[in-house]
Structure 1
Amino acid sequence: MSGAEPFPEAARVSVRNAQLRSNLRHATHTIRAKRAKAVAELADWGRLRAAGAAIKDRTLRHLDHYLEQLESAVTAAGGQVHWAVDADEANRIVTRLVKATGETEVVKVKSMATQEIGLNEALAAAGIRAYETDLAELIVQLGDDRPSHILVPAIHRNRTEIRDIFRHEMGHWGRPAPEDLSDSPAELAEAARLHLREKFLRAKVAVSGANFMVAETGTLVVVESEGNGRMCLTLPETLISVVGIEKTVPTWRDLEVFLQLLPRSSTAERMNPYTSTWTGTTDGDGPREFHLVLLDNGRTDTLADQVGRQALRCIRCSACLNVCPVYERAGGHAYGSAYPGPIGAILTPQLRGTASALDASLPYASSLCGACYEVCPVAIDIPEVLVHLRERVVEGGSATRDGARVTIKPAKGHAAERAAMRAARWAFEHPRALRAGERLASRTRGLHPTRLPGPGAAWTASRDLPRVPPEPFRDWWQRTHGGREAK
């Protein structure tokens, strides 16, 4: 995806799609209202939020220790741990493990990390077909589409579109949909259930992600709403879990905090309908082989950034997407990443870097309104990280890539912005020059244009240029108060 077009160009296409905007507006407003009601039920929500942030920060500071503890616990419980430094290594590991079973099909659940690394494509290149089993992911896969939301990957589709996808595509992937299938949610769910049941009963290998990994016992946790995940996690003979290293929590006591924060922030439920946990292997119960692939893929580099590392607190609840005015209008595809919305705008440029035009544009995919920070259950200050990454894009500077400190060059196309910011910094450092400039601006206010020329034209195409006051504030204060300090 890193070679895709920049966010502004992709978003320009999305905002012209009236059906897409209608689907997104209805879905995000519904989810946001339900979430607000669910959160309001807890008098200690603020303390829970602070506890979640503190647990994540403590874990990230000592991540090396907890990962080694996790590896020891998983191994002691009968599982095997594999370390993947990047997407290519993770794909090679999973492909090798599947081939070792002799199977050519896998079922998948909770697979955002595998979307990040392009696992389905890598398996297909090796002659292995992957079947998504989450209902929304199934819709996306059958429609040859891409997810556009963290919680509801098919949020950009309405019921009629889903019915048409099921009618036309299900038969190519397995059990076909009924010819008389309507767009009733119950009938759509039943068609998906019958289609997937066939795959669950046949599959010998499953690939999963995880919401959390408990270091003290080596336990992995998946939370979901459909039960498809539990089928994936228990029926196959071999289970391969691909999980980002930041999903680690130290203890079950820590996990309890997140099992309160996540459902209310994501699905607006008091608890998850299905919370599945598994620890290694057990004779006669569940998969006979368990493999855990611990994925870095830029996370250690992100951890080295004192401002940006807070993005690794994310528990993938999607609350920030549901309140973001930019996401609501542009949709998830414009972000060109497995992680759309505000969290994707700060996480993707750190995992992949800002070398491509797409990744350099993502920190600007925001109005900086701050709504995302207000709803984040682990208090990620997304606006702060966005501004931090914008500075990196415009100014370049020192950053960590592939474990080494490097100097990043400024991105192309920001020369005017860079010059303007440097001029502003100089002016603020020289009060006399600033005051002279303010007076000049006030005295020439009648000559000011209503629209900016050149690079500024895009800014004023959708905004009014602020009117300059008749005199600077300091002159007004001197004239009306004689320069006295306010009491």
Structure 2
Amino acid sequence: MAPSLVEPSPPLRQSISLPVLPPEPPFDFAEASVAAAGNTKLKASINNAVLRQHTARQLRILELPDSDKLRDLAGRIKQHTLDHLDYYLEQLVVNVRKNRGHVHFAVDADEARRVILQIAADAECTRVVKSKSMVSEEINLAHIMEAAGLDVVETDLGEFIVQIDHDKPSHLVAPIVHKDKASIAKLFSEYFKTPYNDDPNALCNQAREYLRDKFRKADLGMTGGNFLVAETGLVCSVENEGNQRQSVSTPRVMIALVGIEKIVPRMADLAVMLKLLTRSATGAPITIYNNIYGGPRSAGEKDGPEEFHLVLVDNGRTEILASEEYRETLRCIRCGACLNACPIYRKIGGHAYGSVYPGPIGALITPLFKGLENYKDLPQASSLCGACYEACPVKINIPKHLVNMRRDINRRHLNGFFERAIYKTWAWSLKSPFLYGMSTLMQKWDLRRRAGGTGWIAKLPMFAAGWTQVRDMPAPAKKAFHQMWKKRPAGQ
């Protein structure tokens, strides 16, 4: 285990014990993905939403003079920061304190939760308004705060819907892409005890009225952070609804919960990231609200908190940082572009990945965060088509890392003996033209036999069964392309 870059935070004024939540059931990717792939309603909802964002990104990125060079620059900025993260963490902490803010380091999820509950207890806060934060989902914060007796409400509309439905987000940017308008209208009708109304404006107004009352009464506001700027000690968070700005400016105590990898060195570097973030996420040129904040309000200011706390979370990031092979994965700016581009994600959605981080990047960082032995199926959930790499604004080579992780699975014998033997035999046969030709002939014969006269194979055996779990497989053609090519008329 790599030593953490962060030391445990010093104890606050009193000791807090964490509520105990029931354990999550063991993750079974095969079961979850098959169920999701067979859910036509789910696939339609997700496919429509993410394809629209992916298409918009492809068009919007063309507006930049040289988008590929800008992506190169963004990747170099993030990589440089990761390579010197200890230096930039120190610089960030100094500047946050100059801004009269408090900095807390959390080595793991338990410590992060304990620090936040302690801040709330010391400030005698009981009502929490919380804007969207992937790290808070990662550490299951809202449920812990509720179990501790705090009144917690998610103020991002999508996250609010997830919260009242006791659901989980299925996308990094759009948490409810798996839901349609009718299901949300039914949920609101049941939750608010009002007549069913599926008009989007009516649903938004209903949530707005409810949340405004929460904002008025809240004494603790929480946000995540898209970026941390080391040279200024400021947090940058982007949004489209204005709820985050309310969470920052209205309550008397404010906490920003951010992973240690979110640092950029300078404000000039932040400008590069903002040019790419929203274009990559939704295809818009920029988000409606770009909030840059840090520290409590000054004398004479009417808005802003009396206390500002920045909680920096490690929770496995230092171990990834210590691995030069996978360090690049920490570049991720959580734009969701790789999810939108991924043909696998479009078919199974986010919940099938068993983590708050779904899609291609989730298939990498979830095993790195939670152990490859626990999520060994995720690196296999990719066609290695490269669409995720092409979409990534900071040029994380996701296909390369997925291949490396598959190698690690084999080296650590996390797969079965029979599976390793099959693939070894297959690799050996590919080295010999004769053996390759013979195995191809045998394969064709067997597949045509299974298809009968229908031309389709309904079920394949053993390790190949996954190909026919939710679809039929076409039988091979009677003549291969190279056979037809050899028999072509001379001169053609």
Q: Please, what TM-score do these two structures have when normalized by structure 1?
A: 0.86
Q: 8 Å contact 1:209–1:243 — kept in the other structure? A: yes
Aligned: 1:454 with 2:470: no
**Could you tell me how far apart the structure 2 residues matched to 1:444 and 1:10 are?**
33
Q: What is the aligned counterpart of 2:230 among 208, 211, 215?
A: 215
Partner AA of 1:251 in structure 2: R
Shift of 1:381: 1.3
State the partner residue of 1:400: none
Q: 1:143 to 1:447 in 2, by over 3 A?
A: closer
Q: What is the aligned counterpart of 1:416 among 415, 418, 428?
A: 418
**Could you tell me how far apart the structure 1 residues matched to 2:442 and 2:420 are?**
26
Partner AA of 1:227 in structure 2: G
Q: 8 Å contact 1:242–1:292 — kept in the other structure? A: yes
Shift of 1:16: 2.2
State the partner residue of 1:281: 296
**Could you tell me how far apart the structure 1 residues matched to 2:465 and 2:180 are?**
37
Q: 1:467 to 1:411 in 2, by over 3 A?
A: farther
Match of 1:360, SS state, is coil
Q: What is the aligned counterpart of 1:371 among 367, 384, 387?
A: 387
State the partner residue of 1:272: 287
Shift of 1:40: 1.6
**Could you tell me how far apart the structure 2 residues matched to 1:371 and 1:166 are?**
37
Shift of 1:76: 1.5
Shift of 1:182: 2.2
Shift of 1:423: 3.9
Matches within 5 A, 1:16-95: 16-95=38-117
Q: 1:355 to 1:443 in 2, by over 3 A?
A: closer
* RMSD of Structure 2 on Structure 1 (CA): 2.5
Aligned: 1:166 with 2:188: yes
Matches within 5 A, 1:76-115: 76-115=98-137
Matches within 5 A, 1:134-145: 134-145=156-167
Q: 1:438 to 1:288 in 2, by over 3 A?
A: same
Q: 8 Å contact 2:132–2:159 — kept in the other structure? A: no
**Could you tell me how far apart the structure 2 residues matched to 1:30 and 1:367 are?**
21
Q: What is the aligned counterpart of 1:187 among 168, 188, 202?
A: 202
Shift of 1:15: 2.0
Partner AA of 1:37 in structure 2: L
Shift of 1:4: 3.3
Aligned: 1:383 with 2:399: yes
Unaligned segments of structure 2, at least 5 residues = 1-22, 451-459, 487-492
State the partner residue of 1:246: 261
Match of 1:220, SS state, is strand
Match of 2:377, SS state, is helix
Q: 1:353 to 1:235 in 2, by over 3 A?
A: same
Identity %: 42
Q: What is the aligned counterpart of 2:310 among 292, 305, 324?
A: 292
**Could you tell me how far apart the structure 2 residues matched to 1:467 and 1:394 are?**
33
State the partner residue of 2:10: none
Match of 1:290, SS state, is strand
Shift of 1:103: 2.2
Partner AA of 1:131 in structure 2: V
**Could you tell me how far apart the structure 2 residues matched to 1:349 and 1:2 are?**
16
Partner AA of 1:334 in structure 2: A
Q: 8 Å contact 1:243–1:295 — kept in the other structure? A: yes
Shift of 1:435: 4.5
Q: 1:170 to 1:305 in 2, by over 3 A?
A: farther
**Could you tell me how far apart the structure 1 residues matched to 2:134 and 2:244 are?**
13
Q: 1:207 to 1:446 in 2, by over 3 A?
A: closer
CA offset digits 1:300-353 (Å, max 9, x no partner): 111122232222111111111112111111111111111111111111111111
Q: What is the aligned counterpart of 1:331 among 327, 330, 349?
A: 349
Shift of 1:124: 2.1
Q: Please, what TM-score do these two structures have when normalized by structure 2?
A: 0.85
